[in-house]
Amino acid sequence: MQLWHVGRVSHEMVQPDGQQPVAPSALKGEGAQCFVEFEDGTAGQHPTSTPRALETDEIPGIVEDYRQAAERAKRAGFDMVEVHAANAYLLNQFLATGTNKRTDQYGGSLENRARFPLEVVDAVIDVYGADRVGIRMTPFIELFGLTDDEPEAMAFYMAEQLSKRGLAYLHLNEPNWAGGDITFPDGFREQMRERFSGSLIYCGNYDAERAEARIGENTTDAVAFGRPYIANPDLPERFRVNAPLTEPNHETFYGGDEKGYTDYPFMDNGYDRIQ
């Protein structure tokens, strides 16, 4: 189960009592949109609202929210929990210099900007144990107006801190997963391997061939697939027999009904291996 707080990537229409979204600082994500339901019953993407900055004394309450979410996931029978600290959402907003302009103990230095995400990790570990907790991060990503002057330094710091906690895995999203030319710097993967003792997982715009090559480099233990899995419920079998993949319909992402989630076809039973 992935635990996720969107922070400023939200709108008053989907907040309790029409309140402002919350964030480390009151900075709107330029160009950011979120999925909302309109008053006329339709739904779709809409520009996000300007957030308000969280008060220092509110942050422990959000940490407790994560703890309670982990408790509920455990009661529901989930084997593991992944803390979502990626893709320009709340925990990522605290990590990044462009979205975190705080002057309290949660802003400024690497250690301060990482404090809240690590408090969340510790709360979830208290529930599940470190060997059943992972985290997802996206250093270098440019999404929803998020910018960061210290992505590599923060990634290395977080890897070391998470390794000390014995976290099960660190899940890293490629910077160009949504398009663009940004990539990890030379040597980044090797240094992450040196700093993190658990399993490393990479994801974002991979196919089977690139995934195999990445694992062969010994810089990752696994490659994860998201969008291809949405459109291909039998993705492992398609990879095994080298079958063509169904392309996902992006217009059905993030909202609506079952269309685009449960109606993609499986391969025909008589499919033969492609030579």
- Dist. CA 218–CA 4, nearest whole Å: 29
Look at phi and psi of residue 256 and say left if phi exceeds 0, alpha if psi is from -120 to 50, else beta: left
- Dist. CA 12–CA 162, nearest whole Å: 34
Indicate which residue of 89, 128, 169, 206 is catalytic: 89
- Strand-pair category, 2-3 with 81-85: parallel
Residues 6+ apart with CB under 8 A from 75: none
Find where tokens 């490629």 sit. 174
Phi, psi of 199 (to 5 degrees): -80, 140
- 155 DSSP β-pair partners: none
- Dist. CA 102–CA 85, nearest whole Å: 18
- Dist. CA 106–CA 56, nearest whole Å: 8
**Residue 90, token pair as written in the block:** 């709340």
Contact present, 106 and 55 (Cβ < 8 Å): no
| Catalytic-residue membership of 169 | no
Contact present, 202 and 223 (Cβ < 8 Å): yes
- Dist. CA 96–CA 100, nearest whole Å: 6
- Dist. CA 119–CA 83, nearest whole Å: 11
Query: Which residues belong to the active site?
Result: 89
